[in-house]
Amino acid sequence: MARREALLRPRPLPFHTRFSNRILPDYLVDPDLIVYDNLNGFGSPKGSAPTPRRGWGKNLRLMASNVDGRIRRRISPMAFRSGQDAYFAPDWSGTFTVSLALPKRWSIDLAGQCYGPMRLPVLPNDFGSDRSPTYAIVNLQVKRPIGEHSELYGGV
């Protein structure tokens, strides 16, 4: 009896990093300047990145991953819950790929990256929000191999 492929095959990849040698911009000192200074305290990005995969026969493949990891700036190691979210660091991000094999060696790939809201600097008289919206970058590609070493493709 042939072994059936699992519905989802998650591969959890937890991570935790601590750094104290980063140079960060300070947008709040003077609205007309961006002042750079060494990090006072430490940064601590952590999260997990499960990557479920699924295949349906030989023609259709799906892969997705999600990173739920906020980068926080902390002033002291004892301040477990204190700190600020780093500027331009999304609360979460993810990627996905869907591949479909077509007849006559053609294939279609849809790939994308999704980003959750992130902290943004706000200047005086600024009409924008201090958090960005969630957004995605998506690519569609159609391709066909030509010979052994070349490929014809197009995409948007």
Residue 7 has φ and ψ, to the nearest 5°, of: -60, -50
Residue labelled with tokens 């569609």: 140
Q: What is the pLDDT of residues 91-147, one digit of tens each?
A: 888 888 888 888 888 999 999 999 999 888 887 787 888 899 999 999 999 999 898
What does the alpha-carbon distance between residue 122 and residue 23 come to, in Å, rounded to a whole number? 20
pLDDT tens profile 52-91: 677 777 788 877 777 766 666 555 454 444 556 777 888 8
State the pLDDT at residue 142: 93
- For residue 104, the SS3 value is helix
Quick check: 128 and 120 in contact, CB under 8 A? yes
Distance between CA atoms of 61 and 53, rounded to whole angstroms?
A: 8
Domain spans, the chain:
14-155
Structure confidence at residue 136 (pLDDT):
94
